[in-house]
Structure 1
Amino acid sequence: MISKERLAKHFSEMEKISTPNEKPGIFRLAFSDSDWQGREYLMSLMKDAGLSIRIDAFGNVIARREGRNPSLPAIMFGSHGDSVPAGGNYDGVLGVLASIEVMKSLDEENFQNEHPLEAVIFMCEESSRFGMAELGSRVMRGELSTDDLHSLKGKDGKSLYEVLKSRNLSPDNISEAVYNEPLKAFLEVHIEQGKVLEYEKTQIGVVTGIAAPTRLRVFLHGKADHSGATPMGMRSDALCASAEITLLVEKLASEQQNPPAVGTVGILNITPGVMNVIPGEAEMGIDIRSIDKDAKAKIVETLKKGIDIVCKKRDIEYEIKVISDETPVPLSAPMVDYLSSICEDEEVSYKRMPSGAGHDTMFWAPYAPAGMLFIPCKDGISHNAAEHAEMDDIFCVTKLLEKAVKKLSQENFKI
């Protein structure tokens, strides 16, 4: 039986491991001492649940409950254990602790699963240390090479390769970490990291797809002139052009309703930044996201045309650099229906919704039927010391995960 008290205890222990004295927030930066201590604690819980553990060359932890028919494809579920600096105690670790609690409950019940079950701790999901996210899943899906491990470096100048070596892992054998065994399904539970569920007073989000960004750097080259001596009609004001472009980003994203999109100008650097000088240069960082690649592409192309119109009108030269253009990941429609039906059976309020943030699931969805369940987080706050999820919601989603896993673990059950 799923235990709310046990879950609460484990979250409390992880918080103690990861909270330095006099510093607010959680500090489990990937491969740091606190990340390693948290990982050791989580592995102790896996062993207590009767699971056999293997660790791959990157440090990903795969804990297995054997099935009555070991030749059947496994059901994998889990999440990541690392955090951003001064982050919260629910992002990532919720999915790990919920998975371990499901395994513990099955062990207590002496439940007979026909398919093998695997609970996973993915390493280095956050981009905080090496500038790239979901590294553990990328490795398991064969999307990182030894050369990549050398090129990815943290702010301390150490490469990911060196860091793995320092933890007695095997970066030279990274190809051996590729997960090639068949999977029946992949599941992940996570906090929403947004406000929708709390605002709509809904307990569970059934994720339909994971949005991916297109990120642009826009450089506007106007002319810096004296603010008092230059008439309004004779200016090439880079800041005013950037303001028009910012509003255009907002307009285009807001108008894209079905499927939805979001647009953000998160960087705006103005030069020279002096009170009495017209801004001559502006640098913008623009992030456009959707779970639909065509909708996202349409916004980006319309935005580029809009930037051209704004800049010609204001006599400003410009450059647009595409920093990244990632592909959104739709989740399995039958899996979405299946998880929705479980919510209905348990009389739990839910809504189908996209994920605006990236998750490990996006690397497993092309490999196996994949599903995600969200719970609300207070005020939509995440990656922050104020991040909070209610234990009632954690208990609820863990019970839903258990029910989903139990059905999937039977050979005659098909999605």
Structure 2
Amino acid sequence: MTVQVRTVDAGSADDAAMAARLFEDIAKMSPDTEGVSRPAYSEIETKVLKYLEDFAVENGLEVWYDACCNANFCLPGDRDAEGVVVVGSHADSVPAGGNFDGLAGIVAGLVCLVRARRSGAALARPVHVLAMRGEESAWFGPCYIGSKALTGTLSEADLAACHSGDGRPLSDHMADVGVPVERLRAGEPMIDLSRIEAYIELHIEQGPVLIGKDLPAAVVSGIRGNIRHRTIRCVGEAGHSGAVPRAFRRDSVLAMADLLTRLDEHWVTILAKGNDLVLTCGMVGTDPDKHAMSRIPDEVSFSLDMRSLSPTTLDEMRKLLASEIRQVERDRKVRFELDREMRVEPALCDPDLVARLTRAMESAAQEGFVMPSGAGHDAAVFAGAGIPTAMVFVRNRNGSHNPHEAMELDDFMAATEIIYQFLTGAS
């Protein structure tokens, strides 16, 4: 996968070339039939972290691995600093995904460290760059696994979640790479959170706002929380497609469609009231061993993802989901079975950090622009742990979680410049 390059207008040409090489080398290490795949807690993810380790050592940085087997980087002498600013993101990707989701945040942090070391610039505070494992939910179901493990908030249910491919639990995969799972079960934070003065994450935007605004970067004001079900089953009754009248049908697919239509109508109402909500059903399927064109489906499974910046709206959607399920069950004579609810609370970015990053944008001769994040990020977990948190978005065409991510190098360098200005105290 090649980084799209126009003219680099922020940062040095050397920094841009270094970033491009990192992106391209890592893409070559993790190819899929389309795009890239870096499964959480896999050999590929380990290989990527080792590559980043070698790069950091070659450029005079200190490197170490924390108890969760994430890679950490800093300038010489800053590893044991009493208080640090952490710049981080995740190294894994979704299956057949894009190369920049997560990785861009790690590369940005490394570019800042190498630039400071090369130029002799003083950072305002010691900086640790964190390359985390396991953020994407595609592999096990739970999201933010790596950051929840670090903060001591990974639940037993999370650890028991099974891999989408081999069916083994997350706990086994984490143990395979050397994570002390029993400490996670005890709810023990795996790093000293009191040392983290701020957590900053650069990430590609996963929507079209910056494209529409024609801006290379933005500061993030907050991160949507979510309520998610990986698998909801609707159970009805099979029958012949031509022989069973509507009144006698217990069609699971039409029942699912009815439920989703009702939720969509609530979505419209909530938006009309000025509240924030997005709703997605990303996986749908009947039993491939039984489904047929001439068969009324007796069972369908689907996922549900409801997100909002408001905890109250999430609570309201949970109640509406339960109410509408009861109604559809009565109307269509079916049964819904929900798996364990996965919830992450919305997170507001620290107002002082948002203001300082906005000033850093202006120091970098960019228009100060602040926007919310519709997608979730590890930053939400650090914010939930009481750590002042902020984010910077990079313009990116074609969305994310697909192989067609199109972040341009000059935009990446512009966003990285914001963080560098912040870290050197210009803001």
Query: Shared topology, TM-score over 0.5?
Result: yes
Query: Which residue does 1:139 correspond to in 2?
Result: 149
What does 1:162-181 correspond to in 2, within 5 Å?
A: 162-163=172-173, 166-167=176-177, 170-171=180-181, 175=188, 177-181=190-194
The answer to whether the 8 Å contact 1:57/1:171 transfers is: no
Amino acid at match of 2:396: C
**Worse-superposed segment, 342-351 or 95-104:** 342-351
What does 1:45-124 correspond to in 2, within 5 Å?
A: 45-65=55-75, 73-124=83-134
**Worse-superposed segment, 218-227 or 357-366:** 218-227
Query: Which residue does 2:4 correspond to in 1?
Result: none
Structure 1: gaps of 5 or more residues: none
2:338 pairs, out of 294, 311, 321, with: 321
Partner Cα separation in structure 2 for residue 269 and residue 160 of structure 1: 24
Query: Which residue does 1:248 correspond to in 2?
Result: 262
CA deviation digits over 1:187-242, x for unaligned, max 9? Answer: 00011222332244332232222223223565545555554455555655443333
**Worse-superposed segment, 57-66 or 5-14:** 57-66
Work out whether 1:203 is the aligned partner of 2:216. Answer: yes
Mark the CA change 1:252 to 1:106 in structure 2 (over 3 Å): closer, same or farther. same
Mark the CA change 1:397 to 1:307 in structure 2 (over 3 Å): closer, same or farther. same
Pairwise CA distance, 1:378: 2.0
Mark the CA change 1:5 to 1:172 in structure 2 (over 3 Å): closer, same or farther. same
Amino acid at match of 1:184: E
What does 1:37-52 correspond to in 2, within 5 Å?
A: 37-52=47-62
* Number of corresponding residues: 404
**Worse-superposed segment, 222-231 or 32-41:** 222-231
Mark the CA change 1:164 to 1:222 in structure 2 (over 3 Å): closer, same or farther. closer
Pairwise CA distance, 1:324: 1.4
What does 1:287-326 correspond to in 2, within 5 Å?
A: 287-312=305-330, 314-319=331-336, 321=338, 323-326=340-343
Partner Cα separation in structure 2 for residue 241 and residue 213 of structure 1: 24
Partner Cα separation in structure 1 for residue 317 and residue 93 of structure 2: 32
Partner Cα separation in structure 2 for residue 180 and residue 27 of structure 1: 31
The answer to whether the 8 Å contact 2:251/2:334 transfers is: no
Work out whether 1:264 is the aligned partner of 2:308. Answer: no
The answer to whether the 8 Å contact 2:329/2:336 transfers is: no
The answer to whether the 8 Å contact 2:87/2:109 transfers is: yes
The answer to whether the 8 Å contact 2:38/2:44 transfers is: yes
Mark the CA change 1:196 to 1:149 in structure 2 (over 3 Å): closer, same or farther. closer
2:423 pairs, out of 400, 405, 408, with: 405
Instruction: Please state whether the residue corresponding to 1:358 is helix, strand or coil.
Output: coil
Q: Report percent identity of matched pairs.
A: 27
The answer to whether the 8 Å contact 2:225/2:309 transfers is: yes
2:381 pairs, out of 363, 368, 386, with: 363
Work out whether 1:29 is the aligned partner of 2:39. Answer: yes
Partner Cα separation in structure 1 for residue 201 and residue 38 of structure 2: 20
The answer to whether the 8 Å contact 1:215/1:322 transfers is: no
Amino acid at match of 1:390: E
CA deviation digits over 1:100-157, x for unaligned, max 9? Answer: 0001111122122352211111122233444433222222112248x78974554435
Partner Cα separation in structure 1 for residue 356 and residue 202 of structure 2: 15
Mark the CA change 1:52 to 1:302 in structure 2 (over 3 Å): closer, same or farther. same
Partner Cα separation in structure 1 for residue 393 and residue 137 of structure 2: 21
Amino acid at match of 2:358: S
Work out whether 1:127 is the aligned partner of 2:137. Answer: yes
**Worse-superposed segment, 155-164 or 86-95:** 155-164
Partner Cα separation in structure 2 for residue 224 and residue 34 of structure 1: 43
Q: TM-score, normalised by structure 2?
A: 0.81
Pairwise CA distance, 1:265: 2.6
Mark the CA change 1:16 to 1:262 in structure 2 (over 3 Å): closer, same or farther. same
Pairwise CA distance, 1:349: 4.4
Mark the CA change 1:114 to 1:284 in structure 2 (over 3 Å): closer, same or farther. closer
Mark the CA change 1:168 to 1:51 in structure 2 (over 3 Å): closer, same or farther. same
Instruction: Please state whether the residue corresponding to 1:76 is helix, strand or coil.
Output: strand
Work out whether 1:8 is the aligned partner of 2:20. Answer: yes
Query: Which residue does 1:185 correspond to in 2?
Result: 198
The answer to whether the 8 Å contact 1:26/1:89 transfers is: yes
Structure 2: gaps of 5 or more residues: 1-10
The answer to whether the 8 Å contact 2:142/2:342 transfers is: no
Partner Cα separation in structure 2 for residue 231 and residue 378 of structure 1: 48
Mark the CA change 1:316 to 1:39 in structure 2 (over 3 Å): closer, same or farther. same
CA deviation digits over 1:296-332, x for unaligned, max 9? Answer: 22233234333444444x3524335363141222222
Instruction: Please state whether the residue corresponding to 1:305 is helix, strand or coil.
Output: helix
Pairwise CA distance, 1:58: 2.0
Partner Cα separation in structure 1 for residue 76 and residue 318 of structure 2: 48
